[in-house]
Chains A and B, each alone.
Chain A
Amino acid sequence: MKHPVGLHARPSVKLTKLAKSFGCRIEMAQQPAGPWIDAKSIVKVMAMKARRDTTLHFRAEGDGAADAVDALSELVQRNFDEDHADAPAS
């Protein structure tokens, strides 16, 4: 995760909303060993206080699990689509 502020409020909301759009169970963690939290819980995602340069781990189980993990990883890699927030559109 490269976002300068880390997993702050707006990215947390985006991540949670995306997770909730999938029917499967999705968990995330800052280390492979856990602790794993419910990626659909906005309160728990914000409470992680994940900082810049943290590697986020996702795991999912159920319908569309692989798609869910891909979509969430892409959201993080796209910097939560906030790259353009401060720059003028080109």
Chain B
Amino acid sequence: MTSSNVGIVIVSHSKDVARGAAEMVRQMVGPEVPLAHCGGDPGGGLGTSVESIMAAIAEAWSDKGVAVLVDLGGAETNSEMAIELLPAAQRDRVVICNAPIVEGAVMAATESSAGSSLAAVRSTAEELYAGSMVR
């Protein structure tokens, strides 16, 4: 079964940050958005892994696509690598948002909950960096 709403994936270097951001999305937006998170390296330290990012994308998968929120450098490059490794049919439906991880995830999920397209979800998350919040 796949949801009619765009999925959200949260990728942080820290397992706790990823879990906390996902918790905020769940509590603020609700259960109707497919959501997955991952963070930390397999040894329990800080880091990200391509494998767990791919698993998170699979968990949050929606035919409408998946928006990925990342924190720092490696989270982004490993997410890019994870996307490249997806089957061709899925690859084009996963985007990384250029947005702060926590705020972007809540904004993206709010947009997704209304059944918006992947492009709309991404642009709502990225609107934050466009200066609307800080003016």
Q: Which of A15-23, A27-35, A54-62, A64-72 contacts B (4 or more CB under 8 A)?
A: A15-23
Q: Which residues of B contact A (CB under 8 A)?
A: 27-30, 106-107, 110-111, 113-114, 124, 127-128, 132-133, 135
Residue of B nearest to A9 (CB): B28
Q: Which residues of B contact A43 (CB under 8 A)?
A: 107, 124, 127-128, 132-133
Give the residue of B29, B132, B135 whose beta carbon is less than 8 angstroms from that of A13: B29
A-B contacts, 16 listed (Cβ < 8 Å): A9-B28, A9-B106, A10-B28, A13-B29, A16-B110, A17-B110, A21-B114, A40-B114, A42-B106, A42-B107, A42-B110, A42-B111, A42-B124, A43-B127, A44-B132, A47-B133
Contact between A13 and B106 (Cβ–Cβ < 8 Å)?
Answer: yes
A41 at the interface (CB under 8 A from B): yes
Interchain nearest-CB distance for A46 vs B (Å)? 7
Interchain nearest-CB distance for B54 vs A (Å)? 29
Residue of B nearest to A17 (CB): B113
Give the residue of A10, A17, A41 whose beta carbon is less than 8 angstroms from that of B124: A41
A17-B110, A42-B124, A43-B127 known; 20 new pairs, CB 8 Å cut-off, are A9-B106, A10-B27, A13-B29, A13-B110, A17-B29, A17-B114, A20-B114, A40-B114, A41-B127, A42-B107, A42-B110, A42-B111, A43-B107, A43-B124, A43-B128, A43-B132, A43-B133, A47-B132, A47-B133, A47-B135
Q: Which residues of B contact A10 (CB under 8 A)?
A: 27-28
Q: CA–CA, A46 to B28, complex, Å? A: 13
